[in-house]
Structure formats: C-alpha cells, structure tokens
Amino acid sequence: MKDIVEHFPEPRPAYTTISTLLKRMCDKNYIGFERLGRDKQYYPVLKKNEYFSKQVNGMIQHFFNDSKSQFASFFAKNTDLSVEELEELQALLQEKIKQKRNK
C-alpha cells in the first residue's frame, strides 16, 4: 500500500481511500493480490483489451440504445478522422464483412 500511495503527487490520498479502491477493484476481478507477510502484492487480472471492450459495450448499451450501428455512425460523423484513418477504418470494415460472409 505504501508503494502505491508514494506514486501519487502531493497531497497524497489517504491510505483508506486507496485501500477502498483496491478492494473494489478486487471485488470486480480487475486485480488480484498475493499476500507477502503483512503486505499484499497486487497484479492485474483483467486484460486492458477486455476492460476496454466491456466499457465500450456498456457505453453503446446505455447511450446508443444497444445499437452498434448508431455508435459507429456517431463516431464517424463526430470525430475529425483524417483520410488515412477513414481508409484504415474502411479496410477494417471490409475485412470484417469478408470474414462474416465466409462463416
């Protein structure tokens, strides 16, 4: 716990605040820990890609009526993508369409 708190800039959060956050993260299976005497060594359980996917899917469900096409439309219309980024996105979509058709 001390090592974690030391990474925060002043004024540092209270140990109880960090402890509560770590407990919640453990409860949600985002992290795990191993006991080392009186201390705990924390490690990630949930991979970054899995976490990101859950967050995006939750956002799609709550803000876009669970419509992935509404989300994609909003994203394409409301972000300032370059021509190269749009072409890359188009290629990804074409590849996904090809995979789906071959199933």
CA dist 34 → 49, 55, 97 (Å): 23, 27, 44
Task: Record the tokens describing residue 20, joined without a space.
Answer: 């509560």
Residue of 69, 64, 72, 67 whose CA lies nearest to 89: 72
pLDDT digits (tens, 9 = 90+) for 8-39: 999 999 999 999 999 999 999 999 999 999 88
pTM over the 0.85 mark: no
For residues 44-58, give the mean pLDDT: 92
Using alpha carbons only, what angle is made at residue 87 by residues 63 and 59, rounded to the nearest 5 degrees? 10
Query: Which of these, 59, 60, 28, 20, lies nearest to 46 by C-alpha position?
Result: 28
Q: Which of 53, 50, 100, 97 is nearest to 61 (CA)?
A: 53
